Structure 1
Amino acid sequence: MRKIPIILLVLLVGVLLLFAFNHYDVQSAGDAVAVDPYSPVLRTPDARFVSLNDFTYEPRYVEIRDSDLGALRVHYLDEGPADGQVILLLHGQATWSYSYRKMIPLLTAAGYRVVVPDLIGFGRSDKPADWNAHTYQNQIDWLTATLEALNIRNSTGFLFDWGGYFGLPVAVEHPDIFSQLILVTTIVPRANSILSAVWVAGWRRYTLKQDVFPISSMVSDMTFKDLDADTLKGLDAPYPTESYKGGPRRLPMLIPATMLNPADALNREVWEKLGNWTKPTLTLVSQTIAENSLDPKEFHDQIPGTLGQPHETYPDTGFFLIEDNPEVLAKKTIEFIER
């Protein structure tokens, strides 16, 4: 008889916690972090990008439109033969096109055209002064507009981290952009449990509550190998002050901790549509990450295009595979395309 009250108590605690995280999720999605009331966007000075290690690529720009912010300038790299098959490299939360500096020459040497945009709020792309401009839907819309402006079609999409969070919604709505996908340390985030809500809340506190958000040290802490001073400088280059870090600091707020977050419904729809994705899809992930948080088996069970593909998990690597293993990833990408 004693078991019944205990079970009820556990359920009650669970309901209270879920309510608390629902409230936190909704409040977090709307908390204002205004950093500059006079300018709709910030633009990192070019001087910040001079003499970056192994990064001598020509900066290119395309303009897209936002209904609230107006014109937004998106930075991208476009390397290799103009008529080559396109490999589209998308970066994640604390990275930008710089993080692909070692993969690019290996891919272009194999005859591929490599296109690497910086998401809005990152790298040399414009950065909204109002951090609340970074919504899930806005990032998807900005990425879609960028790829449409660049006329990207039938590309191999290499989607790392948030590159997958935003790239997969683009893929299911605009399948002509991609002929195949490589999913690297990424997920389609949905609110699945109280535990996931707790994890999201902790991540949010880490990124928002610090006076100085340590971009380069965050990456360094999540790589297996030590990053040298030049690499750390490159990672920090886009962000001369904290006001420029709205992208990296705001993104965790977009992860749905509960089903009240609009991104949850959006991502559940994306997940459902991925159940019909038959184009070849490869997953690559650190062994440690696969065992502890981002198990790619979820993709293997959901996406028909993953069937029979040469998926890999890599030992002795951290979250940021693109820093730990760029040569191996480039080789694997080429092998996947040419299989």
Structure 2
Amino acid sequence: MMSNPAQPDSQVVIIAGMHRSGTSLTASILQQAGVFIGDELLGTAVSNPKGHFEDRDFLTLHIDILTALGLSSEGWLTTEQLDVPEKLWARAQALCDRRQQTHALWGWKEPRTTLFLDFWKQRLPQAKVVLPYRSPWAVIDSLFTRGDAAFAHHPNFAIAVWLTYNRAALDFYQRYPDDCFLFHCDVLKADEAGFIEKLRHKFALPLTAPEQPLFDPAVMHNQVNDTHRSTLLAHHFPETLEVYAALQQAADLPTSQTWQAPVASEADEAMYQAWMLEDWRANSHCRREKQQLKLEMQQQQERFEAELQAVQAMRDHWQNTVASMEVNRFWQLRNAWVSLKTALKGSSTKPE
């Protein structure tokens, strides 16, 4: 049991939840609403062009905890709650103390926090935890699009990770409903001000809604909703839909868009088989395009190397020409000097 938790002399807002579930957008909105979320934040990336809004101090702490436990530093795990090594308790406490000494309303966003919610509850019993969630098909599609190496050869692992994070978030919410705000990230697309108002009301936080919307549809979209992916998940991984339904039922702000898994008939089975073959065909098409691009790049490289060799040969030719000209000029000057010297010598020895 840990001792000496941080004193409740400031208000703390922790933003947790599964990766690719709107945690960055949530953090950016709360930052604009008045929550200090760190001075040194993780920068932008192709997958997060607006920024991650992650406090490097908490990010590094969580990575060090996972490393000390011999686990994936990225947090790709199937264990819902982890025991933090005692040697890192003081560091976590000092980090909280520094924030509380300088900020009346502060917090942090870091998805790996979801794996340590019980640890932080002991450290910061007064903290409020904001838990965005997103449909499993949208998260998995986002992970695959980002290209995380952990799922390159084990795509099913993405489903296991989604289940781990969202089960952990749901379990924590059910144990501490008064200290948590569970919501579907899609609600931020239409009503950021309403989200802040509900958060302010539930937790009595001094929040101010951002003047300009921060949601960017180019960054977080749900194009996968219009595909067959959700039905495939329901058919082959029904537990994902069960957890998603439980999140929707428990949430302070669920999405208004409902989704019901269809009951599979024989016709549906044939359709699932067609979808599987279509994915197979599409994957093979992508491989063929990749091979074609690789061939084109190789041919372009060969042309470039040939052009480079031609340029180098031309350079060598002109260098040799200049060198030859310089040598010829030297010999011309030498021969002229010898002739002049001979002539002068001859004139000096001629009898008078």
Query: TM-score, normalization: structure 2?
Result: 0.29
Instruction: Please identify which structure carries the higher helix content.
Output: 2
- Structure number with larger C-alpha Rg: 2
Query: TM-score, normalization: structure 1?
Result: 0.30
